[in-house]
Amino acid sequence: MKNIDMALVARKIEQATQAAATPQYASRDALLACLASTDYTTLKETDSPRSVSLFTRHAIELTQRGLPPVASICVYPSLVDAVGVVLAEVPADSPAENIAITAVCGAFPSGQTYLEVKMLECAMAIENGADEIDVVINVGAMLSGDYDLAESELAMMREEIGGDALLKVILETGSLADPEIIYRAAMIAMEAGADFIKTSTGKTPISATPAAAVVMCRAIRDFERSCSRKVGIKVAGGIRTPQEALLYRTIVAQELGEEWLNPLLFRIGASRLVDALVPMVE
């Protein structure tokens, strides 16, 4: 198990907090980059094809006002086709053409079902048009020390997805709590083939935290050094203000480097954040 120096993590957060308020990291360009890196998310029990269609149209309308497109629209798998219908109407020369569709799968948010069901849900979401799949690591297996089970489940879902979609693995860091276990979960997810590791479902009392983000960045850096493969990071859960978004973006910049600051390697999962960013950049 990796030893995590939490005093060092605390210093890293303090440095990032100070830097995030400086012109280098708090510019309009940085705010626009946060918008472009957002997985614009609606995961409510009241979601419907109609509400999700309106949600998607709002994202498209922002591009018509000269703003960059969000990275993706993130919805439950049964609503992927509703997003796809709206995006199919986008003209080929529109910036909104680049908006991807993310589906939360694998019995989100608990992950508590049969592996075969998880795999089928992933496959069905892709068949309906999902470009990216967010799944939850087996948190119970991680907490009980059954790391082989956690990795094998993710590897099977990776195999099911193949190259048809990005795989983003949610660690549910608030439930794992222990930084060493968070680091171990991050390494397991990446070894199983994750394209991104993600902090949280946003459905637990503790979601994204700067400390978890720092630990995950350390794991990404160590994995890249040993395997020569860059893995992205997605922070999600409770990120509502531009200041919070800038803090996480600054953590990633300082821990992994400027090359991570693009939607291919950095995402923010949020719903309210988009509406908070728009008045600051228009």
Let me know if 198 is a catalytic residue. yes
How far is CA 172 from each of CA 107, 157, 185, 213, 228, rounded to the nearest angstrom? 14, 18, 9, 12, 25
Q: For 20-114, where are the alpha helices, taking DSSP H only?
A: 28-36, 49-64, 80-87
Q: How far apart are CA 56 and CA 163, in angstroms?
A: 25
215 alpha carbon, distance to own chain's centre: 15
Catalytic residue (choose from 12, 118, 168, 198) = 198
Q: Which of 39, 131, 134, 195 is catalytic?
A: 134
Is 134 considered catalytic here? yes
Active-site residue identified among 12, 118, 168, 234 = 234
d(CA 51, CA 100): 18
Please tell me the distance from the alpha carbon of residue 185 to that of residue 150, in angstroms, as a whole number: 8
234 is catalytic: yes
Q: Residues with catalytic annotation?
A: 134, 198, 234
